[in-house]
Amino acid sequence: MKSGTPITVYIGLGSNLGEREMNIRRALAELVQTPQLEVRRISSFLENPAVGGPEGAPDFINAAVEAQTTLAATALMKRLLEIEQEVGRVRREKWEPRVIDLDLLLYGNSIISSDTLLVPHPLMHERVFVLRPLAEIAPKAVHPALQMTIEDLLRNLRT
């Protein structure tokens, strides 16, 4: 891949602590201000029950973003973690309630597996709360490992 060639990426956003919608809007504002990243589409904000965390965890608001970037995947992931900190996320334990969660779902058609980054997101195809907002903005995007569209992955989960 030529340096500087824009890549289409998809980012999942979620919040289940504090002013959930405001937290997502703050994260979106930070994404928009990120150099070498152009936000193209934003899904609706969808409310979903918390999955995998402690029993009784507050519901999430989830959304998805389509963007174009010339950032390397690792640099983009580093920026997503910075935005989480800026919005107020403190990481203590896996799947705990959180002010904001930003996940790099897809980075073009790349499959990346390193100590610090797994793309496509390893659980996205199992999660309605990821696929529903993503299908709203990118139903024909293809999961590069499973070779299925987002709309087909969502349909499979619902049946």
Domain that holds residue 122: 7-158
pLDDT by position in tens, the chain (length 159): 445 799 999 999 999 999 999 999 999 999 999 999 999 999 999 998 887 767 778 899 999 999 999 999 999 999 999 999 999 777 666 656 688 999 999 999 999 999 989 999 999 999 999 999 999 999 999 999 999 999 999 999 876
Catalytic residue among 26, 79, 89, 132: 89
Say what the pTM is.
0.92
- 123 three-state secondary structure: coil
Q: How many domains does the chain have?
A: 1
- The reply to whether 1 falls in a domain is no
- The reply to whether 151 falls in a domain is yes
Active site residue 103: yes
Q: How far apart are CA 31 and CA 16, in angstroms?
A: 19
- The reply to whether 94 falls in a domain is yes
Task: Assign residue 57 the CATH number of its domain.
Answer: 3.30.70.560
Active site residue 98: yes
- The reply to whether 2 falls in a domain is no
Active site residue 89: yes
Catalytic residue among 20, 26, 79, 101: 101
Catalytic residue among 103, 127, 132, 152: 103
State pLDDT tens for residues 121-140: 999 999 999 999 999 999 99
